[in-house]
Amino acid sequence: MRSGLCPRRLLQRPALLNILTAVALSRLASRTKKTLYCYLLAVTGADILSQLFIIFVGFLLETAVFHRDVPALLLHSVSAAEFAANHASIWSTVPLTVDRYVALCHPLVHRQISYPERARKIIAAVLALSLASGVPFFWWSDMWRDSHPPTALDTVLIWTHVTIIYFLPCSIFLVLNSLIIQTLRTRHKLQRHQEDGGSNMARLQRRPLGKTTAMLLAITSAFSVLWAPRTAVVIYHLYVSSVHRSWRVHLAYDLSNMLAMLNTGVNFFLYCFVSKPFRGAVRDVLLLRGGPALSRRALPQQKAAANASMSSLYSGNNKRLQRESNRKPS
């Protein structure tokens, strides 16, 4: 994706928002111990890594620092790192999608297999494979500077790239999101049928589309829309007209790269729109507040549970003493 991807200012502000997002999510993850925030934190960290290579490595390396030719070995190494970071940014969303699918479609299984330690291991494995997948793109040709038509190696690398970064994750998102929506529709129809039968319990259990599910659908939809133009332009460059020969293709490639990189900066706004706990965590970070260790709602519940356990303990002790006194001979 040889840099020149997009102007630095276009990515500097999303990078700052992603840092704010990471701090807020890390607070929520440590406070609630939920796997959801672990996966969202992994997505944000991968986005920061992608922006890091594009802003502070790619641009500085090629334009701001060196005023002479950069060694080809260094350029190819940076190119491989950029591809690896972008693969990590996209594939870190896949475990989140799988987790939400299992939670909604197989809730009993989700309770058994979903916990923070397991989530961290899955995230580490996905990130390691994503970073390793960038190694072959060390031989990626510079579309802006290479005047020769794409070679056989370019064809293999381009199709490998669009498969890893768009077609394969989009297929996973499409299948799992379709199953999630179908499951929610089936539950909705069943609940409506029970309501028509006069079941008060069904009315109480009826719930709208969950905020977590809505957030997942928004994240995957934004990725599918923002990365589609770049995928189409890369394939067009391969078979119709190259970026180097046509200024229209060159312009389309620049604009499509800008749209693709905007995908790393929209999640903050999605989280703020959907999640009230996230908005509260962001407010605490901006106001330099530590944030409560436990939510206000959780405190009365924990006190009630503690009181219940203590009362049950006392009642158990009293009963045991009564039985022992009854057993003693008069």
pLDDT exceeds cutoff 50 at 304: no
Q: Per residue in 113-132, is it b (16+ CB within 10 Å) or e — as a string?
A: ebeeeebeebbeebbeebbe
Give percent above pLDDT 90 in the chain: 34
Give percent above pLDDT 70 in the chain: 73
pLDDT at 264: 84
Radius of gyration of the chain (CA): 26
pLDDT at 253: 83
Q: What is the rounded distance in angstroms from the CA atom of residue 154 to the CA atom of residue 125?
A: 28
pLDDT at 57: 66
Q: What is the rounded distance in angstroms from the CA atom of residue 259 to the CA atom of residue 70?
A: 27
Cα four-point dihedral sign 16, 19, 20, 21: positive
- Kindly report, residue by residue over 259-286, the tens digit of the pLDDT: 888 888 888 998 998 888 999 999 999 9
- Kindly report, residue by residue over 29-84, the tens digit of the pLDDT: 999 989 989 999 999 999 998 888 877 666 656 555 555 666 778 778 888 888 99
pLDDT at 305: 42
Domain over 8-293 is classified CATH 1.20.1070.10:
yes
Average pLDDT (242-250) is: 76
Mean pLDDT across the chain: 78
Confidence tier at 312 by pLDDT (50, 70, 90): very low
pLDDT at 188: 80
Give the 3-state secondary structure of the chain.
CCCCCCCHHHHHHHHHHHHHHHHHHHHHHHHHCCHHHHHHHHHHHHHHHHHHHHHHHHHHHHHHCCCCCCCHHHHHHHHHHHHHHHHHHHHCHHHHHHHHHHHHHCHHHHHHHCCHHHHHHHHHHHHHHHHHCCHHHHHCCCCCCCCCCCCHHHHHHHHHHHHHHHHHHHHHHHHHHHHHHHHHHHHHHHHHHHHHCCCHHHHHHCCCCCHHHHHHHHHHHHHHHHHHHHHHHHHHHHHCCCCCCCHHHHHHHHHHHHHHHHCCCCHHHHHHHHCHHHHHHHHHHHCCCCCCCCCCCHHHHHHHHHHHHHHHHHHHHHHHHHHHHHHCCC
Average pLDDT (125-143) is: 89
- Kindly report, residue by residue over 151-195, the tens digit of the pLDDT: 888 899 999 999 999 999 999 999 999 999 998 888 888 877 776
Q: Give CA separation, 149 vs 25, 157, 232, 233, 243, in Å.
A: 46, 14, 18, 15, 10
CB 154 within 8 A of CB 238: yes
pLDDT at 294: 45
pLDDT higher for 146 or 1?
A: 146
CB 168 within 8 A of CB 106: no
Average pLDDT (1-12) is: 50
pLDDT at 126: 93
